[in-house]
Amino acid sequence: MTTETIQAIWACVAIAIAASSISITITQTEVFAAWRRFTNKLGHMPGYLFQCFYCIKHWIVFLAIAIYQPVIVDSGSLLADLILSAFFTVTLSTLVSGVMFRSFMGAMNKKRLEAEIKLADQPKS
């Protein structure tokens, strides 16, 4: 494996982690709730794009691949190579999102359980 290939794989990993974080932040957090409401008013597709972390992740990855142009397999066709790199990166990003969602769910379940325990410990009137 060449140094260029290793650097390209590293770039894909970095893009995947960033795309996962960006897509979840945009589609799932309160920080972007106003933006999601605004895009919903623009029409079905823009509204849906900013509510679907998997959908917006593709566009984030495509943009990053176009900017950084990591080539993990050199076939001699730059377009084919970048498409391969893009979908490799989307797949990595999806795996990262799964880990992130699992940790979010664990934190949310812990918070819910703590609230239930606190409620159960309160004296009944």
Please tell me the distance from the alpha carbon of residue 61 to that of residue 23, in angstroms, as a whole number: 10
Please tell me the distance from the alpha carbon of residue 10 to that of residue 90, in angstroms, as a whole number: 14
According to the model, what pLDDT value does residue 82 have?
A: 98
Q: Is residue 125 pLDDT above 70, yes or no?
A: no
Residue with tokens 């495509």: 62
Neighbours of 42 (CB within 10 A): 11
According to the model, what pLDDT value does residue 111 have?
A: 79
According to the model, what pLDDT value does residue 10 have?
A: 97
Stretch among 34-38, 44-48, 86-90 having the lowest mean pLDDT: 44-48
Q: Provide the percentage of residues in the chain whose pLDDT is more than 70.
A: 99
Q: What is the pLDDT of residues 54-72, one digit of tens each?
A: 999 999 999 999 999 999 9
Distances (CA, A) of 44 to 27, 38, 41, 50, 51: 15, 11, 8, 10, 11
45-79 per-residue burial string, b: 16 or more CB within 10 A, e: under 16 = eebebbbebeebbbebbbebbeeeebbbeeeeeee
Name residue 72's amino acid.
I
pTM for the structure as a whole: 0.80
Q: Is residue 112 pLDDT above 90, yes or no?
A: no
Q: Compare 79 and 116 and report the one with higher pLDDT.
A: 79
Q: Is residue 104 pLDDT above 80, yes or no?
A: no
